[in-house]
Amino acid sequence: MLRERKETVPPAGKPAVPGTRPMVEETEIEMEALQLAAQMIMENGGETFRAEETVRRMGQGFGLRQVESFAVPSGLFISYRTAEGKLETSIKRVHHRSTNLTTVDAVNQISRETAAGALRPEKALSRLQGVSALRERGRGPMPMGAAALCAGGFAFLFQGGWREALLSAAIAALVQGVSLLLTMIGDPGIATNILGGLLTAMLSSLVAGWIPGLLTEAVVAGALMPLVPGLAMTNAVQDTLRGDMVSGLSHGASALLTACLIAGGALLAPPLLRLMSGGGL
């Protein structure tokens, strides 16, 4: 939609009709800011109702009228009426999805300031672009440490002791490292879940064979916890509660699918180990 409008506009900001104001660039900035805000929320694990609310509030903060948006987990529509009464509409597909709640929170903060009238469209867009650029930076080994902390903590909850917690932490860190490596090579998609479950169960079974008296189930269950789709479950509940059944069901199905893939991977481990060891394990 934006590209099409650009072609109809005279170059260098000259108005088509002498004496009229070239409005296109202004509204393009507003639309771009709204699109980027909603897209960043949805790409980083935010709920669809949050994306819709953000568009509505930011749009009103920009002084636009009849701001409407419709979002589903795979894309969004934005529509509003400009001060001149022209109806603008756009579609944005959301292809990439990851989890970064710091980005969602930062966009939310920009949305609040815009809604309060503290940010002009240009400034809001520039700040959103700044947040987006920050998001692209790598995180180094932090996810491995986080996975280790998560797995170790939950191993205690699953009746494990220090030994189980440390082993669980080491396995979760290793699995997270493999997942990061796969992400660096390409987009592994759902393969990460299957591989995560498989590796966790295989490593735990191998370690259990070497250490007598180890509470294997605490090690495996703890190490699987970082893979649990906790955010998708929360989003499913939040979206359903707001009456957005399509997004609620979509997030619920995503959580269920992820859990099934992790479980499937973990179920593959015992027969694979038996096959590799010739029935010894």
Q: Which is nearer to other proteins, 2 or 157 (CB)?
A: 157
Whole-angstrom distance, CA of residue 168 vs CA of residue 155: 7
Q: Which is nearer to other proteins, 28 or 46 (CB)?
A: 46
CB of 162 to other proteins, least distance (A): 10
Q: Hey, how many other C-beta atoms are within 10 angstroms of the C-beta on 152?
A: 23
Relative to beta strand 75-81, strand 87-93 is: antiparallel
Q: Which is nearer to other proteins, 80 or 154 (CB)?
A: 154
H or E element: which one contains 141? none
Q: Hey, how many other C-beta atoms are within 10 angstroms of the C-beta on 128?
A: 26
Q: Which is nearer to other proteins, 24 or 201 (CB)?
A: 201
Task: Taking the CA atoms of 138, 142, 148 and 150 in sequence, report the sign of the dihedral they define.
Answer: negative
CB of 252 to other proteins, least distance (A): 9
Q: Which residues bind other proteins (CB under 8 A)?
A: 45-47, 49-50, 53-54, 57, 99-105, 108-109, 111-112, 139, 142-143, 145-159, 165, 217-218, 220-222, 224-226, 228, 230-231, 233-238, 240-242, 259, 263, 266-267, 270
CB of 21 to other proteins, least distance (A): 32
CB of 11 to other proteins, least distance (A): 38
Contact 65, 87 (CB under 8 A): no
Whole-angstrom distance, CA of residue 152 vs CA of residue 162: 8
CB of 52 to other proteins, least distance (A): 9
Q: Which is nearer to other proteins, 5 or 135 (CB)?
A: 135
The answer for residues whose C-beta is within 8 angstroms of residue 158's C-beta and 6 or more apart is 164, 217, 218, 221, 222
